[in-house]
Structures are given as C-alpha cells and as structure tokens.
Amino acid sequence: MTGEQGVRAAARVAQIEAIKTTARELLKEKGAAGLSLREVAREMGLVSSALYRYFATRDELLTALIFDAYNDLGSAVERVATSDEGASTTLRWRNSCQSVRTWALAHPNEFALLYGTPIPGYNAPTGTIAAATRVAAVFGSILNDDRAQKAEMAEGRGVDVRPFLSVPNLAIVMPAVDPAEYLRGIMAWTHIFGHLLFELFGHLVGSVTDPDLAYSAVVDELAEWLQLSE
C-alpha cells in the first residue's frame, strides 16, 4: 500500500512546486506574456517536453499560478482583516485596502495576471473562482460587521438592486447589510481594484504625483462614503 505515498509521489509534488516556483520567477521578470515553458525547463536543467508530464499545457501552468496568486493575495488580506478584529471598521477597511495595494506593488505581474487582460480562451476552473472570491469576501465582511454593530439598519437610500444584483449571493457574505446597500459595497470593491489597475498600468501618471498618498486619500474617501464607523 501507500503509507508514505511512495518516493515517486513525493518527488512529483516537489517537482510541481519547483516548476511553479521558477515559473513565478520568470513571471515576475517578464510578465505573463513573456513566460515561456522552454525557458522554465531550461532554468531547471530540464528539457521542455519533460514539463508536459506535470502540466498538459502552458495555460494549465498559468492557471495554477493564477490559483496560487489568488490564494496568496486572499490570505494576505484576510490576515490583516482579522488581526485587528476589535478595531473600528474604518481602520479595518483602511488596513485591508492597504494590504491589497502592498501585495499588488510587490507582485505587479501576478496582479496583472489576476485582474488584467485575461488570456484569450481562458475559462476559470471552479477552484479558481472560489479562491478569487476570498478578497471580495473580506471587503464584504467589513461592511457587514459595520452594519451589524449599528442598532438600526442604515437604510440604503432606496435603490432596489434586485433587478441587477445577485442578492442571494451577496446576502451570504453580507447578511447584516440592507440589500439596498449592496450596490455601494460592490462599487467600493470595484473602485479599489480599478484604481490599482490604473495606477499599475500607468494611467494615473499625468494626474497623480504621489500614488501612496493618493491611494490613502481614495481609501478614506470611500470609507466616508460607506459611512463606516470611526
């Protein structure tokens, strides 16, 4: 039987990990477009065909990197969001937003891989979808905690979002939030990522002189707009 799962099985997962690691290095240097299977193999002292024992195609390797990146970013944000569990929701919002940007600046090519132009003909496998949700869930839970702490529901300005938002899905993450506020929650989320995409892709160059301060100001503005508790 397979008590230790065999030498070979262990070597296999190690090899997969090694491939992903060197692929990540190449990705960090040259971006997703410049990532070449042959170069990964060369870097590892292997011949290119050997990699196909572990990843059936280049896209499959990229998918694995996407999956890991989503989880890496997700756990980073979850960590800061839960570390100051007792703090005000404004502070938790600020810290979470900063951690997303910190990660994005530290891994720009991976961030672009996650949120930039999708590779053509790529369909996210279901596992990836779950991983991708983690960050959004953190943002949702912050808003949820804020509203849960408040006696009366903050009455979301009367927008009926049922015609265009997936209320059941959103209710799972934000049960204490008035559905009328779901729109603002989504907007805050898309704003953060849109801003980071614009910053990383160079579209803010002409108008923003200090990206750090600008981002903090944006985050604060959004916190106020969401009426989070100080």
Partner DNA sequence: ACAGAAACGAGAGCACTGCTCTTGCAATTA
Partner DNA sequence: TAATTGCAAGAGCAGTGCTCTCGTTTCTGT
Burial of 58 (0-12, 13-18, 19+ CB in 10 A): middle
Contacts of 22 (CB under 8 A, 6+ apart): 40, 43, 44
Binding range to DNA, per CB under 7 A, among 38-46, 65-73, 141-149, 190-198? 38-46
Give the list of residues 6+ apart from residue 164 with CB closer than 8 angstroms, or none.
none
Distance of alpha carbon 74 from alpha carbon 163, whole angstroms: 30
Give whichever of 210 and 230 is closer to a copy of itself, judged by the CB atom.
210
Residues contacting 102, CB < 8 A, separation 6+: 76
- Check binding of 23 to DNA (CB under 7 A): no
Q: Which stretch binds a copy of itself (CB under 8 A): 13-21, 54-62, 88-96, 205-213?
A: 205-213
- Residues that bind a copy of itself (rule: CB under 8 A) add up to a total of 54
* Least distance to DNA, CB of residue 134, Å: 28
Contact between 34 and a copy of itself (CB under 8 A)?
yes
- Measured from the CB atom, the residue of 12 and 58 that comes closer to a copy of itself is 58
Instruction: Give the alpha-carbon dihedral of 86, 219, 187, 108, to 10 degrees.
Output: -100
Structure tokens at 83: 């570390």
Q: How many CB atoms lie within 10 A of CB 136?
A: 18
Among a copy of itself, DNA, none, the one that 87 touches (CB under a kind-dependent 5 to 8 A) is none
* C-alpha distances out from residue 158 to 9, 177, 187, Å: 58, 13, 16
Residues 59-88 that bind DNA (CB under 7 A): 59
Question: If binding is defined by CB under 8 A, does position 166 make contact with a copy of itself?
Answer: yes
- Residues contributing to the site for a copy of itself (CB under 8 A): 30-34, 112, 115-120, 124, 129, 132-133, 136, 159, 161, 163-166, 169-170, 182-184, 186-187, 190-191, 193-195, 197-198, 201-204, 206-214, 217-218, 221, 225
- Residues contributing to the site for DNA (CB under 7 A): 2, 6-9, 11-12, 15, 35-39, 45-50, 52-54, 56-59
